Amino acid sequence: MNPQFPVHTEAEVMFYDTDCAGVVSNIAYLRFYEVARTRLTDALGLTVTEMTASGLFPTVARTEIDYRKPARLGDRLRVRAWVERLEKVRMHCRFDMHRIGDDEALLSECRQVVVLVQLPAGRPRRIPPEWVALVADDGSLA
Amino acid sequence: MNPQFPVHTEAEVMFYDTDCAGVVSNIAYLRFYEVARTRLTDALGLTVTEMTASGLFPTVARTEIDYRKPARLGDRLRVRAWVERLEKVRMHCRFDMHRIGDDEALLSECRQVVVLVQLPAGRPRRIPPEWVALVADDGSLA
Amino acid sequence: MNPQFPVHTEAEVMFYDTDCAGVVSNIAYLRFYEVARTRLTDALGLTVTEMTASGLFPTVARTEIDYRKPARLGDRLRVRAWVERLEKVRMHCRFDMHRIGDDEALLSECRQVVVLVQLPAGRPRRIPPEWVALVADDGSLA
Amino acid sequence: MNPQFPVHTEAEVMFYDTDCAGVVSNIAYLRFYEVARTRLTDALGLTVTEMTASGLFPTVARTEIDYRKPARLGDRLRVRAWVERLEKVRMHCRFDMHRIGDDEALLSECRQVVVLVQLPAGRPRRIPPEWVALVADDGSLA
């Protein structure tokens, strides 16, 4: 795998990430993973500036998340993101999230299938050949 | 005031509206008020279908919210919205939120200044004369 | 299956559900499904009032979502939720979302694994035997 | 004013911060300001770890926001937060937000009234005398 993968992002759990069960809402994890996915497409050469200019947007076609342990207010989180596999029009992304600190506990794992969609028509576009070159065949981290 | 004002919407507090202090997050109130504002512009004749077709979008220029009493998971809420005053390019909206049930407690009050913005240029547009007719001069509910 | 399943909820796409790609954000679907999940646990006899009183909260352990077609501002959505299978401590829920209207298009499908967790200790609790009775063996809708 | 004020935080606009009008949703600004408010209470010596341990939580009683210019996907934002004035039980906070970069445009300004609430009773608590010492009498930045 290209040495720039996986990309790492960090976050800290805010009030708005939690719910009245006292832990991070299952919904908030998707925000943490979206930040990491944005850094992943950056690393592949598709910045949000280019998305806006070209109308070519990465679109999530499928998400799987496992919630392993609860995260809490003030926890510092490390999210890793990488490309598991590229197909003609589908990018298979992987993510995991650990708590930063003494236990470095694995909090969650995620997979997403992303398709590049050309707006305004909404047509899927082929994964760029440069991405295939950037992501080595043996790109799996697991 | 036109008898269709104020508009009324109802909502129920969900987990995602709360935070780990056990009550509704200050941020979630803006979602409840946005639903009411959408019904208010509907009542004035600007539906979201037309917004999308014409590129003319109501844009919030200023918000004031007072949080009077906490709302909690499962509370049923009644939100009222009305137009307080129309200026050349600014619509002054008012909102309040009560708990439905025994106490009918006043939970929150809100004012928003809304401007109609024409996309993609982003220019403010005059408030339509039909709106002025719909909203009587003595339109204040308070 | 008990005739009260699947439960049905309806929603309308608001501005805050969309993102700058012009369609509903992948994250917002989890809010629509959470409303349906709350109605599902209601139908099983666990209301949010009881959750708050007892400290017994349904917790999402895993989510899978397929995004089939984009939903847009103003779309009216019908979400159905049902229990696919009950294990000792895990409830397997299924959801789907259709656009209300001419096309009745299937927009999304979802599966969630839910565990009942007793706060503050955070221990998983057995699925209540009454739930097993409510959910027939042949409970699968698909 | 104590030299540690105003506190500065930075953020980058993500997809989930925007809506289908192509700019940052009015609701998302409250998340950016909540991060800054958390850093502000940190600087005053009340960390989220202590909040969770003691049940003493800062609660927003009133918010005013002016939206000056739209923020867009990918914009980098600098938020400043400071204490304008302390009363017996009310802390008056001020915030502003600038775009990082060539124009350094002022995007938004905000005021919030914060009350310290002791859970689970929900009673307001006096502002700690140490805070008064930390925030000079002439603490206004404007």
Do D99 and D76 touch, CB atoms closer than 8 A?
yes
pLDDT tops 60 at residue A138: no
Mean pLDDT of D17-27: 97
Nearest CA distance, A14 vs chain B (angstrom): 9
Q: What subunits touch chain B, counting only 3 or more CB pairs under 8 A?
A: A, C, D
Nearest CA distance, B27 vs chain A (angstrom): 8
- Choose the closest CB to A26 out of C22, C30, C52: C30
Nearest-5° angle of CA B51, CA B54, CA B55? 70
In chain A, which residues have their Cβ closer than 8 Å to the Cβ of D73?
Answer: 48, 51-52
Mean pLDDT of B57-80: 97
Report the distance separating Cα B73 and Cα B5, nearest Å: 29
pLDDT of the residue at C2: 64
Task: Determine the length of chain D.
Answer: 142
Average predicted confidence (pLDDT) for chain D: 93
C16-20, D24-28, D92-96, D118-122: range with lowest mean pLDDT: D118-122
Mean pLDDT of A77-83: 97
In chain A, which residues have their Cβ closer than 8 Å to the Cβ of B15?
Answer: 19-21, 25
- pLDDT tens-digit readout, C80-119: 999 999 999 999 999 999 999 989 999 999 999 999 999 9
Q: What subunits touch chain D, counting only 3 or more CB pairs under 8 A?
A: A, B, C
Residue with tokens 């609430």: D117
pLDDT tops 50 at residue C47: yes
Closest residue of B to C14, CA-based?
A: B35
Mean pLDDT of A107-114: 98
C-alpha B108: how far from its chain's center? 12
Do A100 and A59 touch, CB atoms closer than 8 A?
no
pLDDT of the residue at C106: 98
Mean pLDDT of B73-96: 97
Backbone φ and ψ of C8, nearest 5°: -115, 135
pLDDT tops 70 at residue A124: yes
Diameter over CA atoms, chain B: 49
The pLDDT confidence band at residue D141, using thresholds 50, 70 and 90, is very low
Q: Is A3 helix (H, G, I), strand (E, B) or coil?
A: coil
- Choose the closest CB to B16 out of C15, C34, C48: C34
Closest residue of C to B51, CA-based?
A: C73
- pLDDT tens-digit readout, B16-64: 999 999 999 999 999 999 999 999 999 999 999 999 999 999 999 999 9
> Taking CB atoms and an 8 Å limit, are D20 and B52 in contact across chains?
yes
pLDDT tops 70 at residue C53: yes
Do A92 and A85 touch, CB atoms closer than 8 A?
yes
- Choose the closest CB to D15 out of C16, C20, C73: C20
C-alpha C116: how far from its chain's center? 14
Check residues C140 and C50 and name the one with the higher pLDDT.
C50
The pLDDT confidence band at residue A141, using thresholds 50, 70 and 90, is very low
Backbone φ and ψ of D44, nearest 5°: -85, -5
Q: Which of B111, B103, B96, B95 is nearest to B75 (CA)?
A: B103
- C135's CB contacts (< 8 A; 6+ apart) are C1, C2, C5, C44, C83, C86
Report the distance separating Cα C99 and Cα C106, nearest Å: 7
Report the distance separating Cα C105 and Cα B122, nearest Å: 33
Report the distance separating Cα D27 and Cα B31, nearest Å: 7
pLDDT of the residue at C136: 72
The two three-digit tokens of residue D25, written as one number:
């949703």
pLDDT tops 70 at residue B139: no
Mean pLDDT of B80-109: 97
Asked if B53 has any chain A CB less than 8 Å from its own CB, the reply is: no
pLDDT tops 80 at residue D31: yes
The two three-digit tokens of residue D47, written as one number:
């960390």
pLDDT tops 60 at residue C120: yes
In chain B, which residues have their Cβ closer than 8 Å to the Cβ of A27?
Answer: 16
Mean pLDDT of A6-18: 97
Q: Which of B33, B13, B17 is nearest to B75 (CA)?
A: B13
Nearest CA distance, B73 vs chain C (angstrom): 7
Mean pLDDT of D112-128: 95
Average predicted confidence (pLDDT) for chain B: 93
% of chain D beyond a pLDDT of 90: 87
- pLDDT tens-digit readout, D34-57: 999 999 999 999 999 999 999 999
pTM listed for this prediction:
0.95
> What domains sit in chain D, N to C, each tagged with a CATH number?
7-134 (3.10.129.10)
Q: What subunits touch chain A, counting only 3 or more CB pairs under 8 A?
A: B, C, D
pLDDT tops 80 at residue C51: yes
- Per-residue b or e along B26-36, where b marks 16 or more CB atoms closer than 10 Å to that residue's CB: bbbbbbbbbbb
The pLDDT confidence band at residue D14, using thresholds 50, 70 and 90, is very high
Q: Which of A26, A30, A16 is nearest to A73 (CA)?
A: A16
Amino acid at D116: L
Report the distance separating Cα D4 and Cα A6, nearest Å: 36
pLDDT tops 50 at residue C138: no
Strand partners, C38: none
pLDDT of the residue at B4: 74
